[in-house]
A and B are shown apart, each in its own frame.
Chain A
Amino acid sequence: MTAMRRDLLLCGLFAAAALAWPMVSGLRYSVTQTTFFFIWATVVVQWNLVFGISGIFSLAQVALFAIGAYVTAMLGYYLGTSMLLAMPAGAVVAVIASIALGLACLRLYGPYVALLTLCVSQVLYVLIVNDTDCFTHPPAGCMPLMGGVRGFSRFGDLGFRDWLGSGFYIGNYYVGLALLTAAILFSILIIHSPMGLAFRALRDNPVYAAARGVDRFRYQLWIFGLSAFFTGLAGAFYAVNTGVVGPVVFSFPHLLFLLSMIVVGGVGTVWGPVIGAVVLMVADELMRELGDFRDIGMGLILVGCVVLMPKGLSGLFQSLSARLAGPAASAAEKAK
């Protein structure tokens, strides 16, 4: 079985299990939390294409997510656009923004890409929070163009409330599942395609890759553009699902939480980010009661993972299975 077939099969199994989960769990809380998992996992699966597969240290993904969320919310709020149109529009704007960022990063390497992309998202955050000029005057008072500190609410939803009543969250759950499944399928296709090969070659050795005909500029732009679509769409769905979009989506702790998912799960593999998202969300949930110690706990998990498992959980699984297969394989050799 090729690696691609194996990953597609795993994706199918995952989707099937997730389809049944609301029926099995029955708890509203666990269903809505899993919907959030779908959103964060979508972001990190796409981020992994840039960070893990292509080796570009871009921190832009959170800003792209926020752009998708804001565009969706603003279209709904100001123009009354249907969410079914506003969401893909948010994704497309995220793609355009990402290509522009990719162009700006073309001549930068390593940590400088991280600095530039982090700056962009923090500048957006500051611009939104500090904008106090009223753009419109809703009954509640004053609304800055980008929503200011409070952000946007009541800009529309996907219609599940009318259709399913109090069970609307189930509708959102399945939309989230569809989103993540599509994002994983997309990532599998990219990783196992010639384009994924170019990204991995560039990550391993950019000079040698250029000497073998791989054009770094072109493929860096491709990966910035491609990875932004589902990231923006995840932001758009986040907006619709929570019903509120505020500057917190740009915040630095939020960025670190997502980055930790990739690091804990394992950089550069198809399933690492998904595993990391599960582990960190469960850990976050278990430490809910700990108050301030929760951040310390998260920090400890992150440090522990980096020190003990530099290749993340997926790397650990791989070396374990290799070790288990090892004795069996050498026994088979002897038997010959």
Chain B
Amino acid sequence: MPLLSCRNVTKAFGSLMAVSDLSFDLAAGEVLGIGGPNGAGKTTLFEMISGQTRVTSGSVVLEGRDITRLSPVGRCHAGLARVFQLNTGFDSLTLRENVLVAAYYGRAPRRMPGFRIPSEVGDRVQEALCRVGLETRADRPAATLPVIDRKLLMIAGALAMSPKLLLLDEPVGGLTQREIDQVAEVVGRVAADGVTVVLIEHVMRFLVQLSSRVMILHHGKKLYEGDAAGLSRDRDVVEVYLGQGAGREVARLAAGREQGAQHAG
């Protein structure tokens, strides 16, 4: 049984089909990279999976359970954690409190919240902060953070929910090369720990390096689905999305990834 299964999901904004009749499956432990031009419907797809937007038609199934009508909160508790494209956070809270919200409320419904934080929750917060390397700044207010740390803080929040499925929407958009490597390392370790990941990214280096499978969207439809090495051989993908130069670059990156895998194996 796949961990996540999207069946014919469609989102129409008026006459605009942001996502149109899209189906795909995701097995546990996979890292699916999603690319595609701006406006292709990638973020809208995430919104439908994590529940911020209702599907126009189709269904979303997590571990065999239809979650299409579940609220965003319900989907959190079902094991889904999304990191937003925009830099989102609780600005008046400290980093620790930001992650604490997710650790305390994000795992299971709380009928009546208590007056104390259980030590097990505190441990999970600390662990999530360490996993992204923010533990030394835990008591600063989130509003003062630079962009890279905001992205890492969002990831820490998602990890504190101990998700089965992590959705990352452009986690390295607007970052420098070094910062991109920093995030790639964090995400790589999360995936190695067995968390299933779907990531949207324009930075092909990041996408190819981390993804076990790639899907390219265009006008709300699937343009390509397969391994990273096939991207540069697909004429549509090169024409619509990558361009000739980037196509060669992706081919080189994919080859590097294969070699890396062989070394590891």
Q: Do A and B bind each other?
A: yes
Chain B 122-179 residues near chain A, CB threshold 8 A: 157, 161
Q: How large is the interface on A (under 10, 10 to 19, 20 to 34, 35 or more residues)?
A: 20 to 34
Q: By the criterion CB–CB under 8 Å, are B113 and A204 in contact? A: no
Which residue on chain B has the smallest CB distance to residue A189? B115
Question: Chain B's nearest CB lies how many Å from the CB of A327?
Answer: 19
Q: By the criterion CB–CB under 8 Å, are B106 and A212 in contact? A: yes
Question: Which of B73, B89, B92, B116 neighbours the largest number of chain A CB atoms within 10 Å of its CB?
Answer: B73
Question: Chain A's nearest CB lies how many Å from the CB of B152?
Answer: 16
> Which residues of A sit under 8 angstroms from B102, Cβ to Cβ?
212-213
Which residue on chain B has the smallest CB distance to residue A212? B102
Q: By the criterion CB–CB under 8 Å, are A198 and B101 in contact? A: yes
Question: Which of B71, B89, B92, B105 neighbours the largest number of chain A CB atoms within 10 Å of its CB?
Answer: B105
Question: Chain B's nearest CB lies how many Å from the CB of A49?
Answer: 14
Q: By the criterion CB–CB under 8 Å, are A211 and B72 in contact? A: yes
> Which residues of B sit under 8 angstroms from A214, Cβ to Cβ?
73, 101, 105
> Which residues of A sit under 8 angstroms from B89, Cβ to Cβ?
204-205, 208
Q: By the criterion CB–CB under 8 Å, are A200 and B105 in contact? A: no
> Which residues of B sit under 8 angstroms from A201, Cβ to Cβ?
90, 93, 101
Is A149's beta carbon under 8 Å from chain B? no
Which residue on chain A has the smallest CB distance to residue B99? A212
Question: Chain A's nearest CB lies how many Å from the CB of B110?
Answer: 8
Q: By the criterion CB–CB under 8 Å, are B84 and A213 in contact? A: no
Q: By the criterion CB–CB under 8 Å, are A197 and B101 in contact? A: yes
* Cα separation A205 to B90 with both chains bound (whole Å): 6
> Which residues of B sit under 8 angstroms from A211, Cβ to Cβ?
50, 52, 72, 76, 81-82, 84
Contact among B73, B93, B101, B115 for A215, CB-based, below 8 A: B73
Question: Chain B's nearest CB lies how many Å from the CB of A156?
Answer: 35
- Closest 8 A/B residue pairs (Cβ): A213-B106, A213-B105, A204-B90, A213-B76, A212-B102, A210-B72, A194-B113, A193-B115
| Sample (11) of A-B pairs whose CB atoms are under 8 Å apart | A193-B114, A194-B104, A205-B91, A211-B72, A211-B81, A211-B82, A213-B106, A213-B107, A213-B109, A214-B101, A215-B71
The interface of chain B, by Cβ under 8 A from chain A, is: 50, 52, 71-73, 76-77, 81-82, 84, 88-93, 97, 100-102, 104-107, 109-110, 113-117, 157, 161
